[in-house]
Structure 1
C-alpha cells in the first residue's frame, strides 16, 4: 500500500512537471557550439526557427545571443546570413551582461570584416542608434576600436557615423584621445580626416595633443593640422602640451608645436607658476630650453611661484648645459639682463649659485663663477652665503669640491665672531678613516711583502760556477744582472716601494690610535705613501721585465700593458677623489693660498679646515702619478738603449744568461 502510494506520487502531475527541463531562456549547447564553429546544421537552424517563432532568442551564460557569438569569432558571412533570415534591429543593439553589443564584440576581437558587416547592417536598418550604444564603461564601439588601435574598424565606423567621434565615455575620454594612446596613426588620421567636430577630450582635462607629445612627430602633425588651438589648452594642473613636450625633451616635437602657436604660448604658466622653459631647465633639456628662448626671448624673465627663474631651476637640478645658456649673451641679449639673471634671488633669497651649491654641483657653481658676473658673497634670507651652504654638504668629497671652487673665486662666509663659529671636530671624517684604515694597512703590508720578496728573488737569478773538487755546480751570491742599469733601477724602485709601504702602515696605525681632529693629516700622508709605493712596485716590475727580455714584441706589449693599465688606475682613483672642476680652478686655489694668508686662515678656522689643504694634497697625488708615468717612459728608453748597445758590442742578450 505504501509502495503503491509512493508510485502514484512519483507519477503525479506535479512530479512530472518537476521532472521536465525548465525553459529558462538559456541557449542549448548544440546551438552554442554550432554558432561558435561558424557552421549551422539542420538541428541548429531548427532551434533558431523555434526561437524566432517564439519571438525570443536564447542567450549564453553571459547573455550573448547568436550575433554576439558570431561577431566574437569573426564569422562575417554567418552574421549576414543569420541577420537576413532572423534579423531585426533589436538584435544589433542587444546587450550582454557587460552591455556590449555584437559590434562591441567584433571590435574587441579585432575582426575587421565582421565590423564592416555589422556597420552595414546597422546602416541598412535605418537605426543609427545601434552604432552609438554604450557598454558599462560608457564606451561606444568606436571608443573600443580606437583604444585597441583597430584602424580599419575606426575608419568603417566614422565613415558611416562621424558624430560618434564627439562622444566621450564615463571617464570623459574621447575616441581621438584613445586612438592617440594606442599609437595608431591610421586611426588618428581616420578620425581627424572624417570628423571635423570630433572631441579631443582626455582625463584630467587633457586633450589628445597632451598624449600625442609622447607618441611621435607624425601624430603631433596630424593633430596640429586638424586643430592648432589644442596647443594652447591646459589641463587641470594648468599644463599645456608644450609643458609636456618640454618635460620629455624631444626638440623636434617642441619645434613642431612652436611653429603652430604664437610666441605667447611659451609664457603660459601652470598652477605652480612654471613655464615650459622652467620645466625644460629643471629637467636638463638644454636643446629645448634654447629653442624656447629663441622663440620667445623674454621667457627667460618669467618667475615661478617661488620667485625662481629658469636658471634657478637649472641650478637646483645641477644641469650644467642649461646653465651654460645663461652665460651666453647671444641667448639672453643684453649684458645687463644676463647679470641680473645670474644674481637674481628667489623668495628665499637664494641665487642660482646658492642652489647649485645646495645641489652639490661644483661644475655648475664653477660655470656660474667663471662668468665674472656672479657674486659669491650674497646672503639668502637665512643669512647664509654659498660658502656657508657648502660646509653643510652631507657628502665629504662634494663639500671639498664646492669649497675649493668657492675659495678660488673669493667666496666668503657670513660675518660672525670667529670664537662663535662652530668648530669642526673631525668626527665625520675620522669615523670614515677608522673604517678604511685596517683595509689600507693590509694593502700596505702586502706591497711591503712583495717588495721584500723581490729583493731575494732577483730577476736573472745568480751566477753559476763549477766545483772542481766535487764536480758539482753551485751558485755564487752575485746577481747575473748586477751591472745592468735596468737592474739597478729595479733595486732602487723596489727599495722605495718597501720603505713607503712600511711608512704607510705606521701612519695608518698611529692615525687610528690617535682619534684626534687632526688625524686626517696622518691619514692623508699615509695615502700618499701607499700611492707612491704602489706606483713604485709597478714601475719596478716593468724595469725587471725589461732587464731580462730581448724580444721586441714582448717589450712593446709589456710597455702598453703597463702604461694603459696605470692610466686606468690613475683616472679611476682620480675620478673618485677629485672635484668635478677644472685644473685651472685647483691651481687658482693653490695660488691664492700662498698669496692671501688672511683668506686661507679664515677658511681653516671654519668648520672644515681640511678644505684648505685639499687642493695641495690633490696636487701631490697628481705629481706622484706623473712621476710614475715619467719613470715608466724612462725605463722604456733605457731598455731600448741597452739593447742597442748590446747589439753593437756583440754582448750576450740578457735572456741567454737566464738559467
Structure 2
C-alpha cells in the first residue's frame, strides 16, 4: 500500500510538472478513448482522481464516455473502488452546485454504456456490495431498467445467487424493477437457483410475483415442480394459500400445470403438496387431454409412480385412472407405448385392461407393437398374473431366515415347479385386433405403420442384393480371366506360349497353379448385413 501511495504521488508530481494547467490533459485519449480520469478511476488511484477533480475544468470528463460508452463511474463501479465512486459522485454534485445552483444531478448515475448498463449494473455483476449500496442510496427513487441482455440489477443479483445484494436492493430501493430475461422475474431466478432464503425475501417483498409468468407461460410454481424442489414448492404454496389460482395456471401452448410437470418427473412429494392445497387440480388436462396419470406413464421412473398414485387414496385421483386423452388412450395405453415397467398398476383391479382407443386398440395391442423393452416382471404379469404373484411370494419367502424342514423344503420346491410351468406359457395379446386390422374392410386393407416400414426395408434389401450380385459376377469373371491369361501371349505357328523356355515363366506357372488349386470359393454374401 505504501509503494502504491508513493507511486501515485510521483505520478501526480510528474503531471503537475509537465502540465501547468489541467486543460492541457483533457484532449489526451487512449486508443479506447479513455481520458486520464477513466484511467485513474479504473485503477482506484484516489489521490489522482482527487487532484483531477480539484480543477473546475474537469467537469466535462465526469460524463465523457469512452469507446464502449463507459464513464469513469462505470469503471470505478466495475472494479469495486468505493472511495473513487464516492469521490466522483461528490465532485459532480459540487460542480453542479457551483455552476447552476440546482442541486445534485443524477444524470451520471443513470448514464448507460453501449450495453445499456448503468454503474449499478456493473457493481452488481461483479458483486461489489458496498458500491451497490452507495449507488442506490445516491438515487433511491430511480427505477433501473433492463440492459441490452434483458437484465435488471435485481434479477441479475438473484440469478447469480447474490443473496446479500438482493437484500440491499430490496431494502434500499423498494420500487426496483424485478424483470429479467424472457419475461422472468427475480422470483423465477431464485426458484431456478433453488435458493430458499432469496425466495423467502422476494416473496415477502412482493407476494404477487408468484402469479407472474414468463414469455412461455411458466410461473415460479412451474419452475419449482420442474426443479423437483419440494421445499420451495411449499414456500410458494404457503404464500399463495389465500389465492390458489396459481396452481391452475397452464403453460402457454400446452396448458400443462405444475401438477402435470411433477407427475411427469415422478415427484410424489410435490404432487401431494399440490393436491393438498387444491384437490380438484387433478381434474385439469393439457391441450391433448392428458391428466396426471397420463403424465405419470410418459416417462420411466425408478419407482412405480403410477401405482403409488393409486395407493394414495387421500389424493382422490383413482377416478382418473381410466380417462382417455384426445387420441382415446388411457394411462394404461401410454404405459405400454412408453415401456413403463409398473406391474402393480397393470394388475390393479380398478384399471380397465380392455378399454380401446380411437384406433380400436387396447392396452395389449399397444404392448405388442411397442419397441420399448419391458422387464421380466412386466412380461410375466401380462402372461399370467398368478405367475407374477407366485414369483413375488417365493422371493419374499426366500428372504426369510431358512429353517431346515422337510415340509418347508417341499413348499419351496412346489413353488418353483409352478414357476417353471408358467414360465413356458407364450405371451398372447388379449385380442387379435393388430392382426385382423389389415384385413378389415372398414380400414380399407390399411397396413400398420410398422408393417409398411418392414416392407420398405425388404424392398431396399432386394435392390441392394441385386447390385451386389452383379458386382460379384464381374469380380469373379475378371479374376478367372487373369488366372488363365499367360504373360507374353501365344505363338502363331504352334499355339504354344512364347515364354515357355524361360525359367521365370515356369516359376509363374507353378505358382499360379498352386494358388488356383488351394483357393476356396468365397462365401455367399450376406445382403442383409451389406444393406
TM-score (norm 1): 0.54
Q: Which residue of 2 aligns with 1:287?
A: 269
Is residue 112 of structure 2 the alignment partner of residue 161 of structure 1?
no
Q: Secondary structure at the match of 1:318?
A: coil
Name the Cα RMSD after superposition.
3.3
* Offset, 1:47: 4.2
Q: Which residue of 1 aligns with 2:369?
A: 392
Give the counterpart of 1:239 among 196, 211, 218: 218
Closer, same or farther: CA 51–85 of 1 in aligned 2, 3 Å: closer
Unmatched segments (≥5 aa) in structure 2? 96-103, 387-414, 436-531
Q: Which residue of 1 aligns with 2:234?
A: 255
Is residue 198 of structure 2 the alignment partner of residue 228 of structure 1?
no
Give the counterpart of 1:266 among 221, 240, 247: 247
Closer, same or farther: CA 38–135 of 1 in aligned 2, 3 Å: farther
Deviation per CA, 1:30-70, whole angstroms, max 9, x where unpaired?
xxx99996742433224454441x58341211111112111
Q: Which residue of 2 aligns with 1:187?
A: 165
User: Does the CA contact (< 8 Å) of 1:277 and 1:310 recur in 2?
Assistant: yes
Give the counterpart of 1:347 among 320, 326, 340: 326
Deviation per CA, 1:334-391, whole angstroms, max 9, x where unpaired?
xxx51x31111111111111112222121x2x13134321011112222222212222
* Offset, 1:325: 4.3
CA distance in 1 between partners of 2:39 and 2:353 (Å): 76
* Offset, 1:210: 0.9
CA distance in 1 between partners of 2:282 and 2:385 (Å): 26
Q: Which residue of 2 aligns with 1:438?
A: none
* Offset, 1:257: 1.1
CA distance in 1 between partners of 2:139 and 2:428 (Å): 83
Give the counterpart of 1:314 among 292, 296, 308: 296
Q: Which residue of 2 aligns with 1:403?
A: 379
* Offset, 1:602: 6.5
Closer, same or farther: CA 602–386 of 1 in aligned 2, 3 Å: closer
User: Does the CA contact (< 8 Å) of 2:19 and 2:25 recur in 1?
Assistant: no
Deviation per CA, 1:544-589, whole angstroms, max 9, x where unpaired?
xxxxxxxxxxxxxxxxxxxxxxxxxxxxxxxxxxxxxxxxx99998
Deviation per CA, 1:452-486, whole angstroms, max 9, x where unpaired?
xxxxxxxxxxxxxxxxxxxxxxxxxxxxxxxxxxx
Q: Secondary structure at the match of 1:300?
A: helix
CA distance in 2 between partners of 1:110 and 1:250 (Å): 35
Deviation per CA, 1:626-649, whole angstroms, max 9, x where unpaired?
xxxxxxxxxxxxxxxxxxxxxxxx
Q: Report 1:105-116 matches (<5 A).
A: 105-116=75-86
Give the counterpart of 2:315 among 332, 335, 344: 332
User: Does the CA contact (< 8 Å) of 1:35 and 1:66 recur in 2?
Assistant: no
Q: Which residue of 2 aligns with 1:43?
A: 14
Give the counterpart of 2:178 among 197, 200, 212: 200
Q: Which residue of 2 aligns with 1:491?
A: none
Q: Secondary structure at the match of 2:66?
A: coil
Q: Which residue of 1 aligns with 2:61?
A: 91
Q: Which residue of 1 aligns with 2:508?
A: none
User: Does the CA contact (< 8 Å) of 2:365 and 2:431 recur in 1?
Assistant: no
CA distance in 2 between partners of 1:169 and 1:586 (Å): 71
Q: Secondary structure at the match of 2:297?
A: helix
Q: Report 1:503-652 matches (<5 A).
A: none
User: Does the CA contact (< 8 Å) of 1:145 and 1:154 recur in 2?
Assistant: yes
CA distance in 2 between partners of 1:384 and 1:324 (Å): 23
Q: Secondary structure at the match of 1:162?
A: coil
Unmatched segments (≥5 aa) in structure 1? 1-32, 411-584, 609-659
Closer, same or farther: CA 321–141 of 1 in aligned 2, 3 Å: farther
Closer, same or farther: CA 156–121 of 1 in aligned 2, 3 Å: same
Larger helix share, 1 or 2: 1
CA distance in 1 between partners of 2:350 and 2:418 (Å): 18
User: Does the CA contact (< 8 Å) of 1:142 and 1:165 recur in 2?
Assistant: no
* Offset, 1:86: 5.1
* Offset, 1:78: 2.7
| Larger deviation, residues 399-408 vs 291-300 | 399-408
CA distance in 2 between partners of 1:182 and 1:359 (Å): 38
Q: Which residue of 2 aligns with 1:460?
A: none
CA distance in 2 between partners of 1:224 and 1:588 (Å): 61
* Offset, 1:212: 0.9
Closer, same or farther: CA 117–56 of 1 in aligned 2, 3 Å: closer
CA distance in 1 between partners of 2:32 and 2:5 (Å): 17
Give the counterpart of 1:298 among 270, 280, 284: 280
Q: Secondary structure at the match of 2:175?
A: coil
CA distance in 1 between partners of 2:361 and 2:251 (Å): 31
